[in-house]
Structures are given as C-alpha cells and as structure tokens.
C-alpha cells in the first residue's frame, strides 16, 4: 500500500515539520510505502500560469506541466496533507497544489456539466494541521481550510476513512500541549492507516 504525504511548510525547524516527520515515521512503521512530497523542498511552483488556465479542461494534455505530481497522486492508496493554517487558509504553495494538480480528469470528471469524483482509488484521507488562533476564532471566520478539506477534497475521493486533526491556538501552545498533539497524530495515523 502506498501513502502520499503532501507537506507544505517552508521551515524545517517548525512544529509543522515535526508533525510531518511524525506522520511519515508512523506510516513507514506501519509498513506503508511512503511518497514524501515536501512541496517547498521540491521547489513546487504554485502559480497556475496563463497557458495552464487556458488548457485547464483540455484532457489529457492539461496534466503535462504537473505530470510527476499527477502520477504520484494516481499511485497513492492513501493521502495525508500536513500543513499550517495561515490567515484562515492554506499556505500558498498548498493552494497552488490544489489549483494545478487537482485538475479535470485527475481529481474530478465533468459529466454533463457536473463534477464527479475521480480519485476514488484513494481509500484513506487525512489532514494534520495547526491554527495560530483558537477554534472559536476559526469558526467565526468559517474555518475555510476545514470546510474545503472535509467537503471538496473528501468529495473527489470519497474515502473509506478520513481524519482532520487540528491543533488550535498554536500561538499559545505549551510544550505539553504540542507533545500531546504529536501523540494524538501518531495514534490517529495508526488507527486510520
């Protein structure tokens, strides 16, 4: 079984990087073949170009600029995203990953003008994230990352199991709270996958 871990944080010393490491180590320990996709380290270009937008619906040629990422996504049985929430959204590099890789013919099909799931081979889906503010503040702002992940991303996969693991109030988190969250991530990754 193959798990693709998509990591989006530029700082290797960050708590986000520690979460990413915990995810990769736990999956590897469970016997998964892990495709560790560190978007920043790989130099992923998040900006959808004019040409890409003009060819967005031109299947299968639309995948050419991101063929490597599409092939990796298509090879995965499980998908785990590890990222911080900044300004109530994804880091730009992760938003760009969704814009450039989750294309027609890849993550969805258009059938009579309606979106149909196309990543249904992915049976396990998870997000591991941190928020600078508390849960109430995120809820007041609509918590766009959670909604996008648990609705849109989930829809195009329709996984058997899904987890959204979030540490809120990261700006005030103690070592104890961060340690407890790392333990939770390990437990949930073991249970999920």
Can you list the domains of the chain with their CATH numbers?
2-192 (3.40.50.360)
- pLDDT at 193 (0 to 100): 66
Give the percent of the chain with pLDDT over 70: 99
Helices 15-29 and 175-192 pack at an angle, to 10 degrees, of: 30
What is the reported pTM? 0.95
Peptide bond into 60 cis (omega under 30): yes
Per-residue pLDDT tens for 7-21? 999 999 999 999 999
The secondary element (H helix, E strand) that includes residue 65 is none
Per-residue pLDDT tens for 121-162? 999 999 999 999 888 888 888 899 999 999 999 999 999 999
């Amino acid at each position: 079984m193959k798990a693709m871990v998509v990591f989006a944080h530029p700082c290797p010393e960050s708590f986000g990087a520690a979460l990413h490491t915990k995810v990769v180590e736990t999956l590897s320990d469970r016997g998964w073949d892990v495709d560790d996709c560190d978007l920043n380290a790989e130099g992923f270009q998040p900006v959808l170009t004019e040409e890409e937008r003009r060819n967005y619906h031109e299947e299968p040629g639309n995948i050419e600029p991101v063929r490597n990422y599409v092939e990796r996504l298509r090879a995965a049985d499980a998908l785990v995203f590890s990222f911080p929430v900044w300004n109530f959204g994804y880091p730009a590099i992760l938003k760009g990953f969704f814009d450039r890789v989750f294309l027609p013919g890849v993550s969805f099909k258009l059938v009579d003008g309606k979106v149909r799931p196309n990543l249904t081979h992915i049976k396990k889906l998870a997000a591991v994230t941190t928020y600078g503010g508390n849960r109430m503040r995120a809820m007041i702002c609509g918590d766009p990352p959670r909604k996008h992940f648990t609705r849109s991303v989930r829809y195009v996969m329709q996984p058997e199991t899904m987890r959204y693991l979030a540490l809120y109030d990261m700006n005030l988190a103690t070592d104890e709270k961060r340690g407890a969250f790392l333990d939770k991530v390990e437990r949930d990754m073991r249970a999920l996958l």
